[in-house]
Amino acid sequence: MPEIVKMNAAHVAEIAEIEKVSFKTPWSAQMIADELKNPLAHYFVIEKDAQVLAYMGYYRILDEAHITNIAVKPDEKRKGYGKALLSFVLDEMKDDGVSKVTLEVNEKNVAAIRLYESFGFRPAGRRKKYYEGVDDALIYWLNTGE
């Protein structure tokens, strides 16, 4: 049975592999490991049989959170892991006093946009050519008190 746990050093290599197949400019294993030392960073994974299926991270700054990454292993997509992880983390944020959550998403990532909007995230802006100097980032916000 898959379970959601806090990220630890044992997860770093698998997360780095998911990054490589999920993003054009992936975070390195060292960058991910450094997040474990960042007091503002909070990362969670869904694991099953000691394998990482998905992960998500955010920075907490005062009463706001900025989602940094969310990705699902390619062969585990469309099984609800992204939705389960986002739901869990948003509940954690709310319980921790976070009142607003923001994120950037590639304008071409329709599946992610639909997921975020299903949780109440609303578009609030655009960063031109944010991804690799080509694709725009859509900026989304969620008021967790809604």
Boundaries of domain holding 75: 3-143
Q: Find the CATH number of the domain harbouring 81.
A: 3.40.630.30
- Kindly state the average pLDDT of the residues 79-107: 95
Query: Among this protein's residues, is 116 annotated catalytic?
Result: yes
Asked if residue 3 has pLDDT above 80, the reply is yes
Question: Catalytic annotation on 104?
Answer: yes
Tell whether the torsion through CA atoms of 17, 78, 131 and 119 is positive or negative.
Answer: negative
Query: Which one is catalytic: 43, 55, 81, 116?
Result: 116
Pairing of strands 122-131, 51-61: unpaired
Count of structural domains, the chain = 1
Q: Exactly one of 14, 35, 76, 104 is catalytic; name it.
A: 104
pLDDT tens track for 19-47 = 999 988 899 999 999 999 999 999 999 99
